[in-house]
Structure 1
Amino acid sequence: MIFGLTVFASIIWHKKKYAYPKYSKVLFSLFILTAIISLVIGSAKGKEYLYVNISDLITYYLGFILFFYIGYQSIENAGDLYKIVLILFIFGLMTAAGHIFSITTGINLEMMRGQEMVSASRDLSEGNWRYGGFFGNVNSMSAFYVMLIPGGLVLLFNEVRLSIRVISVIAILLMIISTFIGASRGALLFIALNIILSLFFLKINLKQILIGIGFIIALVFGAELVIGNYLQEFFDRAIDEITRKGTESPREIIWFYTFKIIRDYPLGVGLTWHDYSPILMKYGNIFWANPHSMYLQMLVQTGYLGFVSFLLLVVQAISFIIRAYKKTRNSIEKNAFAFVFLFITGFLLMGITEPIFTNQYKLNYIFGIILGISLSFSKRILDLNQNQINTTFGENFNETIVQNG
């Protein structure tokens, strides 16, 4: 948050301002207004509720808007956008490598933040063996992979530089292994669905088919080598965890009662788990900190209007990305647009089963930046294209008048 405020101050100081698309400001205003209304509802129960509601409003909702603003105003050319894409992807590689390192060595890299910052339940012993690495929470880490792996395929098939392709193969392999060890069934499913979406952006020809076959062979061989020699124990545990969890997940029960809460509280119940959990207990006699879904959690926290305004903001960004992707002929821009599109759809897919907007501020801020960057740059491309059309039309019109004069 301090970093975000610093960049925000820099943008204001340098007087950088790029116009927003139509209706964006209205949607953002509605989104924040509904969050504030929910804050008032949640805070009415006492002073202690006021403090935690204000904290979550600043951390998640205002934080999201701050980083969206930073992304929207900070990127001006395709080169910078592509650098952001590559940095994100390399960070995904490092995250997966860190998780695998933690699992195989028992050294929890999260301890670098300090012992007091790490939950006691997230050591790497006994039943908590799935935790570790930079994100700490395995579901948040897996969500990050859902956003990155399909975009990695775009880099692998569409990028001309061999170094990027090699990095893509290594990163995808490590992220898939890390996801499987994490035993997140939802992440594995959503990675598959997002990969299907990525097929629309891949340059498919004979050369790419051969690259794809080579990639699959390398992936299978690499996975067998790594798992067989170093991770077989954790691989077996992951299979047991995935098959065992199927009958033990409380999500369906939580969702059932959450829908009832949403029906009875159309403006939201408050912005924190302190507001949600007691009401869930009253409805279903079950304790849970969140609805285990970003969409249900946003409905619970901001009501119908806040939920719709957020979705419309995301849909607007996706619409601009697709239109700009079709208009541009620049391969770097096309690859960058494909990557950020798949990053956004990965976030939306993982949101079905995980409350990643308000349960993990790291993903919230990264998503805000990417959403802002992609909307801003796609709008610039479309505006430039429209200006060129207008200029060409004007020149042709003037030439016609001269000829007929």
Structure 2
Amino acid sequence: MLDEDPGIVRGLTRELGYLGAAVTGVSSLYEARRSLETWSPDAVLADLQLKDGPGLELLPEYLVRHPDGAFYLLTEQGSIDSAVEALRHGVQHYFEKPVDPIALAWHLVDDLAVGRSSHVLAEQLSPYLTVRDPVMLEALGDLPRFAASGEPVLIQGETGTGKELVARALHGLGPRAQGPFIAVNCGAIPETMLEAELFGYEKGAFTGATRQHRGRFEQAHGGTLFFDEIGEMPPTAQVSLLRVLEEGLVHRLGSERGVSVDVSVVAATHRSLEKHVESGLFRQDLLFRLNVLVIELPPLRERAGDIELLARHFLGKILTDMGKFGAAPTLSRDALTLLAGYHWPGNVRELRNVMVRLAIRLPEAVREVGTNLLAPVLPARASGVTGAVGGVLIPRGTTLADAEGLLIDAALKETGYNRSKAARLLGIGERTLRRRLNES
């Protein structure tokens, strides 16, 4: 338990002890970090604002050591907005002071059970996906059951969120895992060739058809056929696709004989297919056929718990592939804070691109990557942090301290130099804002 008030620490330690919990209390982030070096508790209860920083800073460090643990925040009544925002970053619950120990104990029992099941899910997905964030794990909670069902699955999410990786996980965990996985990018194949690619053709079916060609459906027989960006499929191909899904038969172009196919169908889109239906760009009956089971992938900015894990994974793999380092350098705490503060409009794909740029520029002797090395390879606009304060532009090469100063100045100007409002806009406590102003 992490709180500056010794009375709160003593009281909750005593009450939770009566309920069978072993509690260790500390009063600062420094002490908590030292404790985590030798101990991995099942849960952490941290005050939102401490004398040496926000308690939320401990979250990524804790999850690295204990991914199936539970993290809670203690808040004063005036800090509720910040606590609610923290729920998007992997915090299970927040409790207003004074805390009801019985309510806390119930949450501990429930969340630790969920955490352990999430850990099992993360292990199941590990051959296909690098995931630890509770938001992402919740989104994928039904994936093993969906995979076993053999029913069509529709994956929705922004570009770069990992829709094809999820499709491969559905294939790998399903009954057709030993069969082929065939991917079709519906927006990359010319409209005039799409039906020939999907359904195949006979020799002489059209000019240039010099041999028989098995389409993607036949190639995927006994396995999974993945339609990436299915919202880009032209209406004529949608009609033929619907017929195949309903009949289980493929008619090659130039042939009157149907070929039976047995495939699992997974489709993905970053668009709203419902809006496409309203505008006449997508058939409603095809949508009904595809969205039997739906997986909604959250963007990377809503699953901050995965940013550190993915950044380390990408950097290590890229450097290994380059043969540049014997052991990949670590990312400093300030560098991780910088990554967590970016909006990631390109999601996981953009994060990997940043790690590629970083890996190429890293000197051989580096053992820890700080903000001086990371900031130049990040996009200039840190929109995830600055959007709420007028869209501040952070120049390349800006240090973390200077960037923080720019954001604080913008927040103060936007709120008419009202410190209380500026602190809420920045998602920090007024006490923290005062301290950082005094330090600058």
Verify same fold: TM over 0.5: no
Structure 1 length normalisation: TM-score? 0.23
Q: Which has the larger radius of gyration?
A: 2
| Structure with the higher helix share, 1 or 2 | 1
Which structure's relative contact order is higher, taking Cα pairs within 8 Å and 6+ residues apart? 1
| Structure with the higher strand share, 1 or 2 | 2
